[in-house]
Amino acid sequence: MSCSGLTPLKETDIVATRFRWIATGVLAVVATSAARVEAAMNDMEPLSIHVLIQDETKIPPATLAAARTIATRIFRDVGVRIEWLDSDSALSVKALGEADRSAFWKALYTVHVVTRVTAAAPGNALGFASPGTRVSTVVYQRVEQMSRDAGTDPAVVLGHAMAHELGHLLLRRASHSAAGLMQASLDVQRSAQGRVSFTAEEAQSIRIGLANNR
């Protein structure tokens, strides 16, 4: 479908997160960055975001709950609390006062979980996001495939994929990092051990962005 007067999105406008399972370890800087993040966040005022999951795939409830727990932990480690919503709970915003509704919308981000690969997620990308918006997408078919190939729980891949895509939105950039969660490739083994996180620099950028958006 095309609309007259609108310029189609360029491929570079869509972040194709090419998470791939890598059998080899990553640089030791990942562990160092994780330790720096934990130390830097200890005494900071917590910030929060609302995340609406729109699940088109009917993910098993236990898998989705475990994936949310993983993403929650990743963001908690950088001083950001996630309040998870579904379509029904998001409707409760109608009962809020005007000021509270405004604060709610400012803090709202959406993760679409779709069943099959779309044109916006080429290659082996697990998902994509458009920095400057509040919307990201994860392709569950590829989550399942990666988890099968790696012999791990789909919740591990899903939780890190959701956190990665939210990271693109919160950092407002399409580029990937040399280490940590925002790498172009997902190290499934380290992820299953809880050893993949934002770098200290990314954590600071996320917090500054959220604080400025209040």
Note the pLDDT tens digit of each residue in 134-152.
999 999 999 999 999 999 9
Of 22-36, 37-51, 102-116, 166-180, give the lowest mean pLDDT range. 22-36
> Which is nearest to 144 in space by CA: 131, 156, 130, 162?
156
What lies within 8 Å, CB to CB, of 118 at 6+ separation is 137, 139
* pLDDT value at residue 32: 47
Give tens-digit pLDDT for 93-119: 655 566 665 566 677 999 999 988 766
Q: Which of the two residues, 98 and 17, has the higher pLDDT score? A: 98
Distance (Å, whole) CA 86 – CA 211: 25
pLDDT band at 123 (very low <50, low <70, confident <90, very high): confident
Using pLDDT thresholds of 50, 70 and 90, give the confidence band for residue 46. Answer: confident
* pTM assigned to the model: 0.76
**Torsion 14-173-76-194 (CA) sign:** positive
What distances in angstroms separate CA 7 from CA 2, 13, 135, 157, one per listed residue? Answer: 9, 12, 19, 34
77-94: average pLDDT: 81
**Better-predicted residue by pLDDT, 10 or 82:** 82
The one-letter amino acid at 156: V
Single-letter code of the amino acid located at 183: Q
For the chain, which domains are there? 15-212 (3.40.390)
The mean pLDDT value for 187-198 works out to 97
Helix H, strand E, coil C: the string for the chain is CCCCCCCCCCHHHCEEECCCCCCCCCCCHHHHHHHHHHHHHCCCCCEEEEEEEEECCCCCHHHHHHHHHHHHHHHHCCCEEEEEECHHHHHHHHHCCHHHHHHHHHCEEEEEEECCCCCCCCCCCCEEECECECEEEEEHHHHHHHHHHHCCCHHHHHHHHHHHHHHHHHHCCCCCCCCCCCCCCCCHHHHHCCCCCCCHHHHHHHHHHHHHCC
Q: Is the pLDDT of residue 5 over 50?
A: no
